[in-house]
Amino acid sequence: MKFIVDQQVEDIEMPENLKLNTFLQEFHSSCDQPECSFGFYGFAFGQSPFPVPQLIQNALIKNADKGAYAAVPGIPELRSAISKYNKHYFELDVAPERIYVGPGTKELIFNLLEILHGTVILPTPAWLGYLPQIRFLQKNYHMLPTRANKKISPTDLQKLSLRLQDRQKILILNNPNNPTGLLYDRLELEEIADICREQNIVVISDEIYAQTTFNFSKFVSMGKIYPEGTFVTNGLSKSHAAGGYRLGYVVFPQHASDLKSQFKKILATEYTAVSTPIQHAAVEGFEISKDMDEYFEITRNIHRIMGEYVYNSLLEIEGVKVTKPEATFYLLADFNAFATDLQKVKINTSQKLSESLMVHPYHTAIVGGDSLVLERTDFSARIAYVDYDGAKVYQSYKKQIPKTHSERTEFVKNNAPKMVQGIKMIAKFFEDIRNK
């Protein structure tokens, strides 16, 4: 039997993360060098390496008997816990009625794009998840390339918006940012919010990395700055190292009752509700507790230590520009200073650059520029610094907190040797390229 697939599906490309997975698997099985058996230095996958907090795991076991469907927007206990969590950590005063729970923020962002009319404005570089969704929904969209500082320029946002004819526009703001690891401060958010008010732009503020902000008091939610026009999304995936639980939430803007009922229709039509035991387990993750507070503190400090090491080591490669991460577990490395040398050896695109770094003797996986919605010929790459045993490193940090710069360097060398070696491989690759 030959199945006929809808044209709309045929037309979208495979999301980049799936492409990457396939590429790594195929590469791996076709490599016959003995070194390939150990795998590769992994800077490509954006997953928290830490264990799911024990109290969430316990709650999941305890609630395994909850077989009934949950209410569409989420169980009341969870919406209430998320409301308190937002107040405690992000100074967002939102009633539980403004919070809807969904199977991951990726799905919730998709649902928001389904119901909101308007042209999408996508600042670049961007997380690789947004564009396939926008294309699949056949929405009009425009890229908004950032400048040298890799942040949205309010002037550029205004200029672009003035060119768009739509009554409403949708800005996707990702703060803290994947792939750059950068954080927007209050003033920057206020300037963006001013343009949004003037130009009737609604904001989907993807704040999935908020809790990883190294200096946590510096995080400001767009939901606070522009409460009437911002949809904040967040969830368990990064802060609670539970991407596989598939649980996210959206905070609706103030005074959006009509919209909420439209949204409810969409959720009920598409997935009814999030798994009930998972919702009960999530309550523990969002309730304010000493255990969770310690978990957030330790994990964000480890991300900071790893980030600092990777940032400093990459800067040692002459010509490389690197964003200095303030949150997440990523940074953006710009290798364009090597463009001429790369072209000489027929590496003309960022895709080719990622492939060349994967082959023997380098064995290093990164995410190249075109997967970050940059030009194919832009030799920038996202470096995720999570290739270590999270459970072990967590314990080792608890046993002895590294305080000085040299203690932190030692900590990384002892606890993340593969990452240290991988950075050396990147340096070696570019040294070899220059000497070819």
Ligand X SMILES: Cc1ncc(COP(=O)(O)O)c(C=O)c1O
Burial environment of residue 183 by CB neighbours within 10 A (0 to 12, 13 to 18, 19 or more): buried
Classify 142 in phi/psi space as left (phi over 0), alpha (psi -120 to 50) or beta. Answer: beta
- Nearest residue to 206 via CA among 236, 238, 176, 181: 176
Instruction: List CB contacts of 146: < 8 A, sequence separation 6 or more.
Output: 123, 124, 125, 152, 153
Q: Does 211 bind ligand X (CB under 6 A)?
A: no
Q: Min. distance of Cβ 179 from ligand X in angstroms?
A: 9
Q: Does 102 bind ligand X (CB under 6 A)?
A: no
Compare residues 90 and 429 and give the one whose CB is closer to ligand X: 90
Burial environment of residue 359 by CB neighbours within 10 A (0 to 12, 13 to 18, 19 or more): middle
Q: Which stretch binds ligand X (CB under 6 A): 103-111, 252-260, 363-371, 393-401?
A: 103-111
Q: Report CA-CA distances (Å) from 3 to 6, 11.
A: 10, 16
Compare residues 160 and 384 and give the one whose CB is closer to ligand X: 384
Q: Min. distance of Cβ 373 from ligand X in angstroms?
A: 12
| Contacts with ligand X, 187-206, as mask; x by CB under 6 A | -------------------x
Compare residues 246 and 363 and give the one whose CB is closer to ligand X: 246
Q: Which of 83, 178, 180, 350 binds ligand X (CB under 6 A)?
A: 178
Q: Does 208 bind ligand X (CB under 6 A)?
A: yes
Q: Min. distance of Cβ 248 from ligand X in angstroms?
A: 4
Q: Min. distance of Cβ 334 from ligand X in angstroms?
A: 20
Q: Does 329 bind ligand X (CB under 6 A)?
A: no
Q: Which of 133, 237, 299, 323 binds ligand X (CB under 6 A)?
A: 237
Compare residues 83 and 133 and give the one whose CB is closer to ligand X: 133
Q: What SS3 state is found at 123?
A: strand
Please state the φ and ψ torsions of residue 276, each to the nearest 5 degrees. -65, -45
Q: Which stretch binds ligand X (CB under 6 A): 87-95, 99-107, 267-275, 360-368?
A: 99-107
Question: How open is the CA angle 352-356-362, to the nearest 5 degrees?
Answer: 155
Tokens encoding 323 = 């964003």
Q: Which stretch binds ligand X (CB under 6 A): 36-44, 98-106, 157-165, 366-374?
A: 98-106
Compare residues 212 and 313 and give the one whose CB is closer to ligand X: 212
Q: Which of 98, 106, 151, 382 binds ligand X (CB under 6 A)?
A: 106
Instruction: List CB contacts of 343: < 8 A, sequence separation 6 or more.
Output: none
For every residue of 155-192, DSSP letters joined together read HHHHHHHHH---S-EEEEEESS-TTT-----HHHHHHH
Q: Contacts with ligand X in 38-77 (CB under 6 A)?
A: 46
Number of residues that bind ligand X (CB under 6 A): 14
Cα(424)–Cα(432) distance, integer angstroms: 12
Q: Does 275 bind ligand X (CB under 6 A)?
A: no
Burial environment of residue 321 by CB neighbours within 10 A (0 to 12, 13 to 18, 19 or more): middle
Residue facing ligand X at closest CB distance: 104
Q: Does 125 bind ligand X (CB under 6 A)?
A: no
| Crossing angle between the packed helical segments 154-163 and 186-199, to the nearest 10 degrees | 10
Tokens encoding 268 = 């009920």
Q: Which of 73, 74, 181, 243 binds ligand X (CB under 6 A)?
A: 243
Q: Min. distance of Cβ 314 from ligand X in angstroms?
A: 20
Write out the residues near ligand X by the rule CB under 6 A.
46, 104-106, 127, 129, 174, 178, 206, 208, 235, 237, 243, 248
